[in-house]
Amino acid sequence: MTNLFRPLQLRGVTLPNRIAVSPMCQYSSQDGLPNDWHLVHLGGLAQGGAGLVFTEAAAVLPEGRISPEDLGLWNMAQAEGLAHSVHFIKAQGAVPGIQLAHAGRKASAFAPWKGSGSVPPAAGGWTPVAPSALPFDAGWTVPTALDEAGILAVIEAFMDAARKALAAGFQVIEVHAAHGYLLHQFLSPLSNQRTDAYGGSFENRTRLVREIVGALRNILPEELPLLVRISATDWVDGGWDLDQSVALALELKALGVDLVDCSSGGLSPLQKIALGPGYQVPFAARIRTEAGLPTGAVGLITEPEQAEQILAEGAADLVLLARQLLREPRWPLRAAQALGVEVPWPAQYARAAKGSVPLRQPRV
């Protein structure tokens, strides 16, 4: 048995392997509702053999959507729609997970193929909120700084969304505190210039994340895991960095978080990212070692042997794939063949398992 295809136990949930579908926005919802696209997209990835299948980021409030076309989880109609995908994912032997999010000052943005920057109110956009009234970039809408009541409303929205996620049948919940969205905006001194209990010191800047995590851990049944995605660094001098990420991970561990999903960047257009295969793996490795907490590695992980090595070296406990799975939804089946592991195929496709899985499908 390879490391990649060893089960991973997170509390009372067993992932059948160490391959996870990273949350990927589809920009295909209306009023935050899932539809046939989401069922086919998520269901196909579950058929492909991933052990953990995350939805895209689900906004906990309408104004927390990255774009007007984003998925949401602020009402029961959305939860009921997602339950269909949850049922199908489970039927394929995978574990369904959902990422709860609030986009903060990066909300009300155009879907990538529709433009860039903020969607104006006349075109269906809105004025976003943030820790401080600082826009993401020139030409973006200036956000409204959250007051105490607004912060409490955000915490309550995460709690309410978590309850709805449980009602829909999700077995893993991840809090999105990365990529320059609201919780990351509170963490970074580049976007958080508050002078109250939620700004200034490390303790204050991490307060909102800790309060949300603590609230969700109290809501979730003991047997269900809670994950947090962070940007381990802003890639900007004077911003959030790896040292602070390690310190935060220690706090999250004490609050009952079961795994830190280690990404990076997204907060500032001034970021200078050192891209390369597995470029974020060292973040996962250091947090895993120094915080003593399981980690997930994500970012330019494309080959089975690469994923296997990450786990074999103890750099992470889970690998999350995104664009590679868009190119190749059955990557886990190819990985199994490449590593010499027999894994179950959907019964309807079993006759194809006897043949060869293409070692690489055309890139799109």
Task: Give the DSSP letter string of 129-173.
Answer: EESSS--SSTTSPPPEEP-HHHHHHHHHHHHHHHHHHHHHT-SEE
Rounded to 5°, the CA angle 123-126-128 comes to 145
For the cut 50, the answer to whether the pLDDT of residue 30 exceeds it is: yes
Give pLDDT tens digits for 140-157: 999 999 999 999 999 999
Cβ proximity of 183 and 252 under 8 Å: no
pLDDT, residue 351, reads 86
Cα(297)–Cα(307) distance, rounded to whole angstroms?
9
Q: Which residues are catalytic?
A: 181
Name residue, tokens 């890139």.
363
Q: Can you tell me the mean pLDDT for 44-68?
A: 97
Give pLDDT tens digits for 159-173: 999 999 999 999 999
* 363 pLDDT tier (thresholds 50, 70, 90): very low
Give pLDDT tens digits for 262-305: 999 999 999 999 899 999 999 999 999 999 999 999 999 999 99
Q: Can you tell me the mean pLDDT for 330-356?
A: 89
For the cut 80, the answer to whether the pLDDT of residue 5 exceeds it is: yes
Name the CA dihedral angle for 335, 338, 342, 344, rounded to a multiple of 10 degrees: 30
Mean pLDDT score of the chain:
96
Structure tokens at 119: 């969607």
* 364 pLDDT tier (thresholds 50, 70, 90): very low
pLDDT, residue 63, reads 97
* 352 pLDDT tier (thresholds 50, 70, 90): confident
Domains along the chain with CATH numbers: 8-353 (3.20.20.70)
The pTM of this model reads 0.94
